[in-house]
Amino acid sequence: MHTPSSPVAYAPLPDRVFVADSNPKHLAVVTQILRESGCDEVVEATDATVAERLLKTQSPDVAVIDIKMPGGMQLLRTAIRLTPPLPVVIFTSYTTVKQAVQAMRLGAVDYVIKPVDANDLLTAVHRALERKRMLAPSSAEQVDARTGFGGLLGTSSAMQGVFDQIRRAAPFKSTVLITGESGTGKELVASAIHALSAVNNGPFVAINCSALPLELAESELFGHEKGSFTGATQAQKGLFEAAHDGTLFLDEIGDLEMQVQTKLLRVLEEQKIRRLGATQLIDANVRVVIASNADLTAAVRRGNFREDLYYRLNVIRISVPPLRDRKSDIPLLVRTFVERFADQNGIIPVEIADQCLDRMAEYDWPGNVRELKNAVERLVIYAADRNAAIGEQDIESILPIAPPDDSESQRPDFVPRRLDEVEREMILDTLMHTGGNRTQGAAILGISLRTLQRKLIQYGVPPQKI
């Protein structure tokens, strides 16, 4: 074994590092390396059962685990499923490379080959700590560490499942397809994947494909050369080049026109791009994450989305649940948003009664977390203006739909209506509710802005109607 002699100078390690190794001699060497590097406390374990209990009770900053010890892989799974996830470095050997690969797929940050080298160990531990810092909330947005993950919030089993999927997907360069209704937080999921990935030091570039006009989509994504089209007075990089060595997030991918889909497929297959008007190819070292609130399989059946592109994109799939399927998270979200808006505006957080939170949990929030966030901001403004706590009358003012009444006597008689009539009325009522704001209306309806505009034209609604 290597001894901890002559390690490279590093910043002091955190107070608590957890080490699990069934070999007492090797454990002693690792502990010595860590302590000589400024770590005041090393939590040791040679038995997986004891180790699992210590992981949950000692709150270490980083874990170093020998995956060859009995129960080592299960111990790794326990560590990365903690909330927030515990960054893990694993010990392996030249003869257990397959196990190391499996561990990295599960979510381990790095590995160190036995016999351990002091510099390799310290480098891996510091890398794990840097990964942890990447996910820490900023000072302006402090969130309870037990409930937050990369900006996402939730203690429900549905959200814990999403967090677990993010941890599993992040280490790979494979394309990730994020599905979910508008307003569920798909971009936050993409951002968390980037923060946990190997390219987290590179840029994170996000674009909403529904906002890309057809005539500019190719130029925006792939760039253009000077003179390649009317108005191209100088060369310009596209988003793929801007995201080089980082992550490109393409939201509402289903709204890309077919000819742009064809070029996107070629770029994903070849990992190279060609600017409009150019002859040379440019390397595109980019992790691509995409999202859609539309059913892409249905779009494939309708002929609106390329089948080969769909299969190329649908490598790893993460489905973000709507807010109505995780209503137990609503009180946490409301209180967090209240504190956040108060902090942003330099005011004292307003009080909100439990019965008000219960009333908000009765509503289905078709615009999901985005709609809830906007509603809470209005509540904070109203309450601050009156210098009063948020009351039930305030809650009623932001909820356009009354809670359902199950009594038969209150149910109106059924009136047969055409589906397009119901849809038209729903769209117009929603736009009346948003004061004509079509972007917000599309979010509440769970469709893209482009789809909303198309339906308005279909129903003969002129631009100034709302």
| CATH code of 27's domain | 3.40.50.2300
Last residue of a domain, one of 321, 354, 387: 321
- Integer-rounded Cα radius of gyration of the chain: 26
**Do 310 and 338 belong together in one domain?**
no
Query: What CATH number is associated with residue 431?
Result: 1.10.10.60
* Residue 414, pLDDT score: 54
**Do 154 and 222 belong together in one domain?**
yes
Query: What CATH number is associated with residue 219?
Result: 3.40.50.300
Residue 268 DSSP one-character state: H
Of 171-175, 301-305, 375-379, 426-430, minimum mean pLDDT range: 426-430
Is the bond leading into 115 cis (omega within 30 degrees of zero)?
A: yes
SS3 52: helix
**Do 129 and 219 belong together in one domain?**
no
Residue ranges of E strands in 62-124: 62-66, 88-92, 110-113
Residue 3 domain-assigned?
A: no
Residue 1 domain-assigned?
A: no
**Do 328 and 380 belong together in one domain?**
yes
Taking alpha carbons only, the member of 205, 213, 282, 267 closest to residue 242 is 205
Mean pLDDT, the chain, whole residue set: 80
Which helix or strand (DSSP H or E) is residue 362 part of?
helix 354-362
Which residue type is seen at 349? P
Q: Is the pLDDT of residue 196 over 50?
A: yes
Q: How far apart are CA 124 and CA 294, in angstroms?
A: 41
Last residue of a domain, one of 303, 321, 339: 321
Instruction: Place 144 in a pLDDT band, splitting at 50, 70 and 90.
Output: very low
Q: Give the total residue count for the chain.
A: 466
Average the pLDDT over 210-225 and give the result. Answer: 81
Q: Residue 207's beta-bridge partner residues?
A: 250
* Residue 139, pLDDT score: 32
Residue 466 domain-assigned?
A: no
Distance from first CA to last CA of the chain, Å, rounded?
Answer: 75
Q: Which of 95-109, 187-201, 439-453 has the highest mean pLDDT?
A: 187-201
Burial 386-399, CB ≥16 within 10 A → b, else e? eeeebbeebbeebe
Q: How far apart are CA 429 and CA 427, in angstroms?
A: 6
Residue 7 domain-assigned?
A: no
Residues 18-63: tens digit of each pLDDT: 999 999 999 999 999 998 888 878 999 999 999 988 988 888 889 9
**Do 311 and 369 belong together in one domain?**
no
**Do 383 and 277 belong together in one domain?**
no
**Do 246 and 356 belong together in one domain?**
no
Residues 76-122: tens digit of each pLDDT: 888 877 756 688 899 877 556 667 777 776 667 788 888 888 888 88
Residue 400 domain-assigned?
A: yes
**Do 178 and 316 belong together in one domain?**
yes
Average the pLDDT over 302-315 and give the result. Answer: 91
Contact 34, 124 (CB under 8 A): no
Instruction: Place 433 in a pLDDT band, splitting at 50, 70 and 90.
Output: confident
Instruction: Place 290 in a pLDDT band, splitting at 50, 70 and 90.
Output: very high
**Do 177 and 311 belong together in one domain?**
yes
Of 85-89, 115-119, 130-134, 406-410, minimum mean pLDDT range: 406-410
Contact 194, 289 (CB under 8 A): yes
Q: Which of 89-98, 111-120, 216-225, 240-249 has the highest mean pLDDT?
A: 240-249
* Residue 146, pLDDT score: 41
Structural domain boundaries, residue 246:
148-321
Residue 112 domain-assigned?
A: yes
Q: How far apart are CA 297 and CA 306, in angstroms?
A: 10
The domain tally of the chain equals 4
* Residue 142, pLDDT score: 36
**Do 304 and 338 belong together in one domain?**
no
Residue 331 domain-assigned?
A: yes
Q: Which of 82-96, 150-164, 192-206, 370-384 has the highest mean pLDDT?
A: 192-206
Of 217-231, 279-293, 348-362, 388-402, minimum mean pLDDT range: 388-402
**Do 250 and 207 belong together in one domain?**
yes
Residue 2 domain-assigned?
A: no
**Do 273 and 190 belong together in one domain?**
yes
* Residue 459, pLDDT score: 75
> How far lies 144's CA from each of 154, 192, 336, 340, 422, in Å?
10, 17, 9, 12, 43
Last residue of a domain, one of 107, 135, 163: 135
